Amino acid sequence: MIGYLEGKILYRQGERIMILAGGVGYEVLLPSVVSASMTKGPGDETGLYIYFHQTEKQPKPVLIGFNSLEEREFFERFISVEAIGPIKAVSALCIPIGEIAAAIENKDSGALRKLKGIGARTADKIIATLRGKMAVFAGEHGGEPAGPAPVEENFHLLVLDVLVNQLGHKAAEAKELINQAIKRNPAISSPEELFDEVYRGETG
Amino acid sequence: MIGYLEGKILYRQGERIMILAGGVGYEVLLPSVVSASMTKGPGDETGLYIYFHQTEKQPKPVLIGFNSLEEREFFERFISVEAIGPIKAVSALCIPIGEIAAAIENKDSGALRKLKGIGARTADKIIATLRGKMAVFAGEHGGEPAGPAPVEENFHLLVLDVLVNQLGHKAAEAKELINQAIKRNPAISSPEELFDEVYRGETG
Amino acid sequence: MIGYLEGKILYRQGERIMILAGGVGYEVLLPSVVSASMTKGPGDETGLYIYFHQTEKQPKPVLIGFNSLEEREFFERFISVEAIGPIKAVSALCIPIGEIAAAIENKDSGALRKLKGIGARTADKIIATLRGKMAVFAGEHGGEPAGPAPVEENFHLLVLDVLVNQLGHKAAEAKELINQAIKRNPAISSPEELFDEVYRGETG
Amino acid sequence: MIGYLEGKILYRQGERIMILAGGVGYEVLLPSVVSASMTKGPGDETGLYIYFHQTEKQPKPVLIGFNSLEEREFFERFISVEAIGPIKAVSALCIPIGEIAAAIENKDSGALRKLKGIGARTADKIIATLRGKMAVFAGEHGGEPAGPAPVEENFHLLVLDVLVNQLGHKAAEAKELINQAIKRNPAISSPEELFDEVYRGETG
């Protein structure tokens, strides 16, 4: 739905910022790393990429803001980890994403445990789910290359990303669809084929 | 709710496009045939007709974009087929709608099975549900005329279309309302009469 | 939420109209009496008062358009009749609201049964629920005055109207709250007192 | 989501006002103290801070308007009292918030019982929940200082406020998360530590 907002900053209070666009003030929640990187204040024009969070249990939309599509994409992968929802991720992103990405690629669970709200178990889940898929975000923090992620893991993530963030499936549900598709057709070797098989399975 | 968006293209990534209107960036999902037909890119002004998808299970709205009202109307009929939801239809529309319409009118199940995510069973359901109703979209791909659809089939579809896409009934529920109305009053011969009977039945 | 839209008409198709405001095209459903009164077409600027319909069962908002606040207010009272939801009311409003109001005030069930989708039982419910409260809409169609509605019935309707249309209670639920409040405190003689008692009952 | 609206007043009717922003008229419900303080009318430009109310049971959003962020913040604390929902609070705020704050700080249950819809039991709940936390709003109505609220009560409220109003938790649920966090780690002495412990508890 809403993926970007640009306009005048009406106010900033801790991790809360309000952007006035077309006469409407939109309240946006900033991960602390994004808030820390923002120098602008009330009266300045700005633009933020938005993750639009709305679920059955919580129909009141929460808008989460990022400086770039890349930051938002990192966030969308981060919340594909079981037990990390968007709200928990907002407080966990308190150091530059490059450092978090490097910690994941380097299996540095200690570094991940320093993120707000991330305990030992969740740190291990993050590494198990995302290792090999975050190097693109590590940048100059480039961790010791975990070696190229096996090809099929990469396109699995791509399809997972579209199923969850574009097509509104829940993360667990989307993973189940992908696993069943691969069981039905292990020879799958591209996102398109995987997509086909996921939907063929859905209806036959 | 939202049926059209016009503004500057902020970005395009595969089947995803963002349109900036009034300071708000709306994320739109494009069926591949629509994406393939779009030559514009970031910075260009464009306009898209929107199918606004939001359900109880999936309250986070998904906006699906089309070049014309006609393409959107084809899509709305296509998703009236049982087991074809909006998201599945987005990946299935990967060839021009005229060709799909012609395949339906010509009972060409083989051609339909080439659509992404469409298996044999679904192809048969598409033909059983839509044949005789899609000639208007076949255009120069005009299939071997299936002969004019029986009059009452046409206005059934019209009423079905309004019940589902305007009045928010589920496809199956709307079909049930129509069937009961016709059982109560087989002499019905116009959309208005059918509408009357559908609502008379609802409350008496 | 949305109570009014103004902008350029993008298209009109039967009872469907799209209004472009701030780069966003909003799809609006028009009761036939409203559609019949509209002379404008694509390209013209217009403004419509909107009834914003959204429920748990049907989260996809439906926008229903009116020429005036008065027409919308008539609609809001009309849908307070049990078994008449917004969508059914859209097709029922096919003659000027003054004539419908007069038919209600004159207990003319025959005239009401000519409204699309309104059978005998619903016609009687309309009269039982609204008689004495619709004279204000009858205008020159002024029916034989039903005599001033008893004072307390008028402010009951006012409180009912706010509970349903502003505060989102369901019609049946709101009526129950009002009945219990009056049972607890029969001496109530103003909307404020009734409101107080309704909320005192809610929590004590 | 929406936290502010600015534009032309289309109409005012009792506690209802409509603001036209970008071609869209937004209907806003005003607490009577806010409505009483507004001198502007149809045709005037105005701006209101908005509390966006939307729940599972009531998906149709209700927009509640305030003159300032401070008034809105008072409202957000007021509705953290068990049994006081946003709609009930709208009718209860019928005297200046400074006076209500002073009544709370002075344990003046009699004054609170004069608020619309507030009975004896709810008045006591308001005092039990908010006393020591509302002095900031008492201003010149400054009640007899209740003595500085114990430090940890202040940051509990801060965390509660973010959990409910930013992160969409229900008030009761948020209080439970905070109580458990403090049981696990009584030494907590800052909002950040409390946040960490709340989320560590959520997933471990």
Q: Output the domain CATH number for residue D126.
A: 1.10.150.20
User: pLDDT band for position D188 (50/70/90)?
Assistant: confident
Residue D143 confidence (pLDDT) = 43
| Residue C176 lies inside a defined structural domain of this protein | yes
Asked if pLDDT for residue D203 goes beyond 90, the answer is no
> What average pLDDT does this structure show over D173-201?
77
- Considering the domain boundaries, does residue C96 fall inside one? yes
- Amino acid A175: pLDDT: 79
Residues D81 and D112 in one domain: yes
Q: What is the mean pLDDT of residues C65-72?
A: 95
**Full-model pTM:** 0.77
DSSP string, A122-190: HHHHHHHHHTTS-HHHHGGG-PSP--PPPHHHHHHHHHHHIIIIIT---HHHHHHHHHHHHHH-TT--S
> What length does chain B have?
204
pLDDT at C50 over 50: yes
Is B173 domain-assigned? yes
Across the range D143-172, mean pLDDT stands at 58
Question: How distant, in Å, are the alpha carbons of A78, B79, C141 from that of A1?
Answer: 20, 21, 46
Burial class (CB in 10 A: 0-12, 13-18, 19+), D41: exposed
The neighbours of chain C, by the rule of 3 or more Cβ pairs under 8 Å, are B, D
pLDDT of D152 strictly over 50: no
pLDDT band at C148 (very low <50, low <70, confident <90, very high): very low
Give domain status of residue C146, yes or no: no
pLDDT at B199 over 60: yes
Are A73 and A136 members of one domain? yes
Q: Is the pLDDT of residue A144 over 50?
A: no
Residue A180: pLDDT above 90?
A: no
Structure tokens at C164: 């349903």
In a domain, D96, yes or no: yes
**C57 close contact with D: CB closer than 8 A:** no
Angstroms from D56 CA to nearest CA on chain A: 6
Cβ-contact B66, B49 below 8 angstroms? yes
A122 and D204 in contact by Cβ < 8 A? yes
Burial of A107 (0-12, 13-18, 19+ CB in 10 A): middle
> Is the per-residue pLDDT at B34 higher than 60?
yes
Domain that holds residue D48: 4-66
Of residues B35, D202, B78, B21, the one with CA closest to residue A166? B35
The answer to whether the CB of A60 falls within 8 A of the CB of D55 is yes
**For residue D146, is pLDDT > 50?**
no
pLDDT of residue B140: 60
Determine, for residues A56 and B59 on separate chains, whether the beta-carbon distance falls below 8 Å. yes
Residue A25 sits at the chain D interface (C-beta within 8 Å): yes
Kindly state whether residues D120 and D83 are assigned to the same domain. yes
Pick B157 or A40 by higher pLDDT: A40
Residue C77 near residue C161 (C-beta atoms within 8 A): yes
Query: Would you call A195 and B122 a contact, using CB atoms and an 8 Å cutoff?
Result: no
Do D16 and D61 belong together in one domain?
Answer: yes
What mean pLDDT value characterizes chain A?
85
Report the mean per-residue pLDDT for chain C. 85
Q: Which residue has the higher pLDDT, C180 or A47?
A: A47
* Percent share of chain A, pLDDT over 90: 59
Among all residues of chain D, which has the CA nearest to that of C62? Answer: D60
Nearest to B36 by CA among B15, B57, B54: B15
Q: How far is D9 from chain C (nearest CA, A)?
A: 12
CA distances from B198 to B5, B155, B159, B176, C121 (A): 33, 13, 10, 10, 15
Please tell me the distance from the alpha carbon of residue A28 to that of residue A67, in angstroms, as a whole number.
12
Q: Are D15 and D31 in contact (CB under 8 A)?
A: yes
Contacting residues of B for C117, CB less than 8 Å apart: 195-196, 198-200, 202-203
* D74 and D60 fall within a common domain: no
Residues of D in contact with A122 (CB under 8 A): 203-204
CA A133 – CA A127 distance, rounded (Å): 10
| A112 and A164 both lie in a single domain | no
- Cα B198 to Cα B181: distance, rounded to the nearest angstrom: 5
Asked whether residue A84 is domain-assigned, the answer is: yes
Pick the more confident residue, D157 or C33. Answer: C33
Of C67, C126, C79, whose CA–CA distance to C100 is shortest?
A: C126
Looking at B119, B141, B163, which one is the last position of a domain? B141
Q: Looking at beta carbons, which residues of chain B come within 8 Å of C57?
A: 56
Report if residue D26 sits inside a domain: yes
pLDDT in tens, B97-130: 999 999 999 999 999 999 998 999 999 999 999 9
In B, which residues are within 8 Å of A69 by CB distance?
Answer: 11
Is pLDDT of B40 > 70?
Answer: yes
B56-65, B154-163, D6-15, D154-163: range with highest mean pLDDT? D6-15
Token reading at A181: 């598709």
Residue D153: which pLDDT band, with cuts at 50, 70 and 90?
very low
- Indicate which CATH number applies to the domain containing D54: 2.40.50.140
Average pLDDT over residues D86-95: 92
What distance in Å separates the CA atoms of residue C194 and residue A15, rounded to the nearest whole number?
42
D35 CB within 8 Å of a chain C CB: no
Shared domain check, B133 and B76: yes
Calculate mean pLDDT across residues D116-128.
94
D191-203 and D171-184 helices, crossing angle to 10°: 100
Q: At B176, is the pLDDT very low, low, confident or very high (cuts 50, 70, 90)?
A: confident
Last residue within a domain, chosen from C66, C94, C112: C66
| Among D47, D66, D85, residue at a domain's last position | D66
Counting the structural domains of chain B, the total is 3
Question: What number of C-beta contacts closer than 8 Å exist between A and B?
Answer: 89
Q: Looking at the structure, tell me whether residues B57 and B96 fall in a common domain.
A: no
Q: What is the pLDDT of residue D141?
A: 57
Strand partners, D2: A26
Sign of CA dihedral D135, D137, D139, D143: negative
Answer yes or no: do B88 and B136 share one domain: yes
- Which candidate, B98, B86, B9, places its Cα nearest to that of B48? B9
Checking if the pLDDT of B69 tops 60, the result is: yes
CB spacing of B1 vs C26 below 8 angstroms: yes
For chain B, the chains sharing at least 3 beta-carbon pairs closer than 8 angstroms are: A, C
Q: Per-residue pLDDT averaged across C52-61, rounded?
A: 87
Same domain, B125 and B85: yes
Q: B136 and B75, same structural domain?
A: yes
In a domain, B146, yes or no: no
Q: What is the ipTM of this complex?
A: 0.76
User: Is the confidence at residue C46, as pLDDT, over 90?
Assistant: yes
- Pair A109, A123: CB distance under 8 Å: yes
pLDDT recorded at residue C74? 96
Q: What is the pLDDT of residue B144?
A: 42
Q: What is the DSSP letter of D41?
A: -
A158 in the same domain as A124? no
Amino acid, single-letter form, for residue A183: K
How near does any CA of chain A get to the CA of B119, in Å?
A: 5
Beta carbons within 8 Å of C165's beta carbon, 6+ residues apart: C76
Which of the other chains make 3 or more beta carbon contacts under 8 angstroms with chain A? B, D
Looking at residue D140, its pLDDT comes to 60
Residue of D nearest to A65 (CA): D1
pLDDT at B149: 39
Contacts of residue A33, defined as CB under 8 A and 6 or more positions apart, other chains included, come to A93, A94, A95, A96, A97
pLDDT attached to residue D195? 74
